[in-house]
Amino acid sequence: MESIEAEVSLRGAPFSYDFTLPEGWLGDHFTGGVYFVLRKRPATSATVSDADAVAVASTENERLTFDGAVGSIRIPATVTHTWPVAQLHWDIKGRIIEGNQIEPLGFGTVEIRADIGRELPEA
């Protein structure tokens, strides 16, 4: 699995990312859900919680959906407007309830740029 750099995204705009699962996986294989986690720093092997995450999209909160092996992440602007302007790190993991198996599915970075001001200063 190699790192993927997602396109630049604007804070305060809807975030969209489409991907294809690796190695013959289908979205339905993950009976415990699939999770996209966005962080300020990469997760380490000692990371056991998403409490410090900037955002989480999952099949549980319906911000991550599948059509076979193709996944779509959609996070609304009402969430992204609080994101920091920075290079953020993301990972996608799937969980299979039987055996409590966690499968890493992808990781990478995305640059979040400042949103454009909604009002212009007076001249």
% of the chain residues with pLDDT over 90: 67
Give me the residue spans of the domains in the chain.
4-108
How many CB atoms neighbour CB 105 within 10 A? 21
CA distance 61 to 66: 13
pTM for the model: 0.85
Q: What is the pLDDT of residue 3?
A: 58
Give per-residue pLDDT as tens, 92-116.
999 999 988 999 999 999 999 987 6
Residue 2: pLDDT above 70? no
Q: Count Cβ atoms within 10 A of the Cβ of residue 30 and give its class: 0-12 exposed, 13-18 middle, 19 or more buried.
A: buried
Residue 14: pLDDT above 50? yes
Q: What is the pLDDT of residue 120?
A: 46
- Looking at residues 80-92, what average pLDDT do you find? 93
* CATH class entry, domain 4-108: mainly beta
CA distance 40 to 95: 23
Residue 122: pLDDT above 80? no
